[in-house]
Amino acid sequence: MISAAVGSAGHRRRINWRRWRLLAIGGFLVAIVVFCAVFANFVAPYSPYDLDVASMLQGPSAAHWLGTDEVGRDELSRAIFAARISVEVALVAVGVGLIGGTIIGIFAAYFGGWIDLALMRLMELLFSFPAILLAVILMASLGTSILNAMLSIGIIFIPGFSRLARAATNDVLRQQYIDAARTIGMGDARIMMREILPNVVTPLLVEAAVAFAYAVLLESALSFLGLGAQPPEPSWGNMLNTGRGFMGQAPWLGIVPGMAMFLCVLGFNLLGDGLRDAFDPHLRE
């Protein structure tokens, strides 16, 4: 019956099997990446730095499951260690963004008035810059290093998180118990920490999962451009960059790091989407 558009009553919070399946796949991919990152030393068959020029540019084989690169290093091991860099950078970057954004957002919503206006205008402005451009410029001024990559990406995330924190704080402020807390003499800082923070945490964490994916993407982009992890440190980005040069002879060098990026980002996106659907009552589909 043609009634797709005539809205149906009856199915709230139906367990959508397909969505749980996607959440599971996302979780699985994320678990693999995190596992590789944490236990790289144990998981990787070779060291990512061992040169073996004799066996350079070999295709996938029993000895080297994903082949070797231009100086004979095992591609699989490098990919595994590269996960560590991506996860580290993403973790710190999201952390920086989360903390910075939460503080700004809560402040803006709590104090309101011109503080709110000023802060949010600033955040909007930062938000309107293309992320990669800002990242690249920040790296240029600060200098290229992994730490600076973490910082730059983190700064880029602050506006997004601040917007979310502000909205969530406003929701909380509309409730009665904030006034109650004030009347019993709780100071501002106390209120923000004890009453507001716990309630805004959930949507922020959900968003953090999606931000993680984006952080991995940005970090890879930066190291692809030579602005992030420097060789011989393996990062999916710089692996892809060098691999590009050997596409004719060794196409797997261009495929492997990109595939790793793709699966990692996909995993975090699926996880983030799944969490968002699970926690946000407004997104009843």
> For residues 204 and 270, which CB has a smaller minimum distance to other proteins in the complex?
270
Q: Which of 4, 54, 62, 189 binds other proteins (CB under 8 A)?
A: 4
| Cβ partners under 8 Å of residue 145, min gap 6 | 230
Which range, of 38-46, 72-80, 134-142, 187-195, touches other proteins by CB under 8 A? 134-142
| Beta carbons within 8 Å of 156's beta carbon, 6+ residues apart | 97, 126, 131, 134, 135, 138, 218
77 part of the interface to other proteins, by CB under 8 A: no
Among 42, 113, 141, 179, binds other proteins (CB under 8 A): 141
DSSP symbols for 48-70 = TT---GGGTT--S-SSSTT-B-T
How far is the C-alpha of 261 from the C-alpha of 239, rounded, in Å?
A: 11
- C-beta of 191 vs 260, nearer to other proteins: 260
**Rounded to an integer, what is the distance from CA 272 to the centroid of its chain?**
10
Nearer to other proteins, 203 or 257 (CB): 257
Four-residue CA torsion sign, 35, 38, 44, 50: positive
Residues 206-225 that bind other proteins (CB under 8 A): 213, 217, 220-221, 224-225
Alpha helices in the chain (DSSP H): 17-38, 40-43, 75-111, 113-128, 131-142, 146-173, 177-183, 188-191, 197-224, 236-245, 252-279
Distance CA 242, CA 124 (A): 37
For other proteins, the closer of residues 48 and 257 by Cβ is: 257
Nearest approach in angstroms of CB 106 to other proteins is 23
- Residue choice 32, 103, 132, 197 for contact with other proteins (CB under 8 A): 132
Q: List residues near other proteins by CB under 8 A.
A: 1-11, 14, 18, 22, 125-134, 136-143, 213, 217, 220-221, 224-227, 240, 243-244, 247-248, 251, 254-255, 257-258, 261-262, 265-266, 269-270, 273, 285
